Amino acid sequence: MYADMKDKAGPKTAPLADFRSDTVTQPTAGMRAAMAEAAVGDDVYEEDPTVRLLEETLAGLAGKKAALFFPTGTQSNLAALLVHCGRGDEYIAGGDYHVFHDEAGGAAALGGISPFPLATDETGGLTPAQVAAAIKPDDPHCPVSRLLCLENTVSGRVQSLERIDSLAHVARDKGLSVHLDGARVFNAAVALGQPLSRLCAPADSVSICLSKGLGTPVGTVLCGDRDFIRRAMRARKILGGGMRQVGVLAACGLYALERNIARLAEDHARARRLAAGLAAIPGVDVEPAAVETNMVFADPGAGHHGPLQGYLADHGILIGAQVPKIRLVTHMDVDDEAVDMLVGKIQDYFANIARASPAPLSHRS
C-alpha cells in the first residue's frame, strides 16, 4: 500500500529544481548509509555516542567548550534565550533577524522575555551606536537589557568580523551577553575564508544549523561554555527537545561536517552565476554585488510575483513567494544546469510578456 502511494507520488510531483530554501535538500545515499550504521544510545541519559561525538566535534570547530544537539534552530535559539535571560529581561536584535521575526515570539510567549528589535542596514547589520542607545539604564521603568542577539549570515549577507567584534564589545561593556544565530555561519566562514571559531569568538553562545547548506534533514547544535550548555539541557527538556536514540540524526551531522563545508563555495558561485544571468533580463531588478553567499534577491516588478511563480511551477521550478524581492537560494540539490534553466525560464516569461505588451517593461530595462 505504502509502496503504491510512493510510486504514484514520487517523480510526478517532485520539482525539477527548488530554489525556495537550502532546507529542501534530500539526504544523499551516503548520508542515509551513515544513519543506518550509527551507534546509538538514549541521549536523555547522555548515552548516545554519536550525539556525543557530534557535540564535541562542533564545539571544537566553534571554539567553545561544550555543545548540545537540538532538533531545530528555533528550539536552539529559544533555549539559548531562556538560559541567558529571565522573566522581565530584554534581548536586543535586528528586527528582521529570525529570532525576533520568525520564531513565533517564543521568547516572549514562553520565557517572559521582551524583544527590542532594531532596524538593520542594507547589509543586514546593526551599528554599535544603535546597540549602545538601545541598552536600558538601571531604571525601574525599564526591562533589564540582558542579551544582544546577532545573526550571521543575515539573508545571505556576511557580517564582517569587525562589525560583530564591535557590536559584541558594546554589549559586553554594558554587562550584556551575546548570542549568535549562526544558522548559516558556515556559509559566512567559507565566504570570509576564516575558521568557524573566529566568527564565533565574540559570542557567548552560537546556534549552528546542520539542516541548511550542510544538507542534513534535521539538526542544530548550540555551543557555549560548560555551565551554559548544562543549563541549556534543562531548557531543552522544558521545550520537549530531549530525544532518545537520536544518533541516527547526529550521524548525518557528522557526515555533513566531513564532506559538505568546503563545497558551500560551489553554492556561492552558483548564486553569483544566477544573479549575473538575471541581471541581463529586462524586467528583473537584481543586485549581483549584494550576493555574498547562497542567496539572490530579485524583484520581477509589481504584479509579476504570482504569475512568475506560477509560470515557473508549471515548468517544475519552485521559487519563494517573497514580495517585493523574491528569494532564490542555491544548495546541494541545484547544479549549474538548474541555475541556467531557471534563468532561461525567467527570460522566457518576460519575453512572452514583452511580446504581449511591450510598454510596461521598457522602463525597467
Ligand X SMILES: Cc1ncc(COP(=O)(O)O)c(C=O)c1O
Least Å from the CB of residue 361 to ligand X: 33
**Residues 118/131, Cβ–Cβ less than 8 Å:** yes
User: By C-beta, is 250 or 284 nearer to ligand X?
Assistant: 250
Quote the DSSP letter at residue 154. Answer: B
From the CB of 103, what's the least distance to ligand X, in Å?
Answer: 7
Rounded to the nearest angstrom, the gap between the alpha carbon of residue 61 and the centroid of all alpha carbons in its chain is 18
Closest approach, Cβ 315 to ligand X, in A, equals 26
**CA-angle at 275, arms to 270 and 281, nearest 5°:** 135
CA distance linking residue 86 with residue 79, whole number of Å = 12
Count CA atoms closer than 13 A to 331's CA, side-chain side. 23
Closest contact distance (angstroms) between CB of 353 and ligand X is 32
Cβ 151 to ligand X shortest distance, Å: 6
Rounded Cα–Cα distance for residues 304 and 285 (Å): 12
Closer CB to ligand X, 192 or 354, in the complex:
192
- Cβ atoms 87, 111 nearer than 8 A: yes
Question: Which is closer to ligand X, CB of 147 or CB of 353?
Answer: 147
Residue whose cell numbers read 518576460: 350
Return the C-alpha torsion angle 186, 273, 94, 214, nearest 10: -30
Minimum CB separation from ligand X for residue 362, in Å? 37
Nearest residue to ligand X on Cβ basis: 73
C-alpha cell read off for 140:
525601574
In the bound state with ligand X, the residue whose beta carbon lies nearer, of 97 and 350, is 97
What residues contact residue 349 under an 8 Å CB cut-off, 6+ apart? 307, 308, 311, 312
**Contacting residues toward ligand X, per CB under 6 A:** 72-74, 77, 98, 151, 181, 183, 209, 211, 220
Residue 205 or residue 341: which is nearer to ligand X going by CB?
205
**C-beta atoms surrounding 90 within 10 Å:** 20
Shortest distance (Å) from residue 99 CB to ligand X = 7
Q: Which is nearer to ligand X, 43 or 181 (CB)?
A: 181
Tell me the CA end-to-end span of the chain in Å, nearest whole number. Answer: 53
| β-strand partners of 145 | 90
CB-nearer residue toward ligand X: 210 or 346: 210
